[in-house]
Amino acid sequence: MLGYILRRLLQVIPVFFGATLLIYFLVFAMPGDPILALFGDKTPNPAVLEQLREQYHLNDPFIVQYWYYITGVFQGDLGNTFSGRPVSAVLAATLPVTGRLAVMAIAIEFVLAIVIGTISALRKGKLFDNVSLVVALVAIAIPIFVVAFLAQYFLAIQLGWFKPTVGADNDWGGLWLPAIVLGFSLYAVSMRLMRSSVIDTLNQDWVRTAYSKGLSRNRVLPVHVLRNSLIPVITNSATNFGVLLVGATVTEGIFNVPGVGNTLFQAITRGEGPTVVSFVTVFVILYVLVNLLIDLLYGLLDPRIRYA
């Protein structure tokens, strides 16, 4: 087990350098002058422009800029935004907001997928199963921004159940509406996976053996069926969680959530290389660690899985 964990952690090293180098190059190759864009329609002093370019090493070749950035990272310095604010401070302010939103959305997705998927599998071919499959198909087909606008209009503006935007009220209670939108948009795939997995597990020999031994349905379903059916759902939910940590940019923009999605989008439009690469670096590490945790969870759910 320890050797497996160490090997997976060592895989972070090439992923880290590859991701940061690629993203930094893409930002470097973007057209336009990011420093000049900071002044908008104003005409800045050429001396000020040159000073800012020197400060952020924008006059240096790409590999030199990347070297300055990567050495700063290993010294614990993620760099500064073009406004002078440390990137680490921006991350500290935005990542908890997106983290709360991601946890709430995944919890909604997971509960809906398990409950609806299991009931659909047990009622295969009946009304509930057919309706749930149609709803899941609709959830997959409708773009996320359409779901967000509909939820904002009907649930927030018309019914008044939620606030239409988040803004500064970004604690757990203020994020319910965007979390519901994300959870609903994500649950359909997990529900279909859960349904298929439960149907497949119900046909396994060990389930029939459990029933033949006289075990009740209340015992067989949670212990023998659900436990063995959760692995594909957990895999999909873990992938969704990693994606949400990067930032649900569209949803955060519609509901004015001050998370990493909004901040990263603004940094890309401004051409802030250190900000974009620092955000991506943190997300790569988080994504790898989340997937490692899920891999270890497989061994608890399925005793047949061993890490040698």
Domains and CATH numbers, the chain: 1-75 (no CATH), 87-270 (1.10.3720.10)
Burial 251-270 (b: 16+ CB within 10 A, else e): bbbbbebbbbbbbbbebbeb
Say whether pTM exceeds 0.95: no
Judged on CB neighbours under 10 Å (0-12, 13-18, 19+), 281 is buried
- 299 versus 276: the higher-pLDDT residue is 276
pLDDT in tens, 96-137: 888 899 899 999 999 999 999 989 988 888 899 899 989 888
Of the chain, the percentage scoring pLDDT greater than 70 comes to 86
pLDDT at residue 8 greater than cutoff 80 = no
Beta carbons within 8 Å of 18's beta carbon, 6+ residues apart: none
Q: State how far the Cα of 302 lies from the Cα of 297, in Å rounded to an integer.
A: 9
Q: State how far the Cα of 11 lies from the Cα of 262, in Å rounded to an integer.
A: 29
Q: State how far the Cα of 128 lies from the Cα of 131, in Å rounded to an integer.
A: 5
pLDDT at residue 237, as a whole number: 83
Mean of per-residue pLDDT scores for the chain: 80
pLDDT at residue 308 greater than cutoff 60 = no
Reported as a pLDDT band with limits 50, 70 and 90, residue 80 is confident
CA 43 and chain centroid, separation: 40
Q: State how far the Cα of 56 lies from the Cα of 66, in Å rounded to an integer.
A: 11
Nearest CA-CA partner of 61 in 15, 29, 16, 17: 29
Reported as a pLDDT band with limits 50, 70 and 90, residue 231 is confident
Q: Which of 154-158, 232-236, 272-276, 303-307 shows the lowest per-residue confidence on average (mean pLDDT)?
A: 303-307
Tokens 């864009």 — which residue? 37
CA 40 and chain centroid, separation: 33
- Taking phi over 0 as left and psi of -120 to 50 as alpha, with beta for the rest, 136 belongs to alpha
pLDDT at residue 159 greater than cutoff 80 = yes
pLDDT at residue 34, as a whole number: 64
Q: Where are the alpha helices (DSSP H) in the chain?
A: 2-10, 12-28, 34-37, 46-55, 62-74, 87-122, 127-141, 144-151, 176-202, 205-212, 217-220, 227-246, 249-254, 260-270, 273-301
pLDDT at residue 1, as a whole number: 64
pLDDT in tens, 24-43: 787 777 666 666 656 666 66
Reported as a pLDDT band with limits 50, 70 and 90, residue 170 is confident
pLDDT at residue 207 greater than cutoff 70 = yes
Average of pLDDT values for 190-216? 81
Reported as a pLDDT band with limits 50, 70 and 90, residue 46 is confident
pLDDT at residue 307 greater than cutoff 60 = no
How distant, in Å, are the alpha carbons of 75, 87, 90, 180, 225 from that of 72? 5, 12, 17, 39, 51
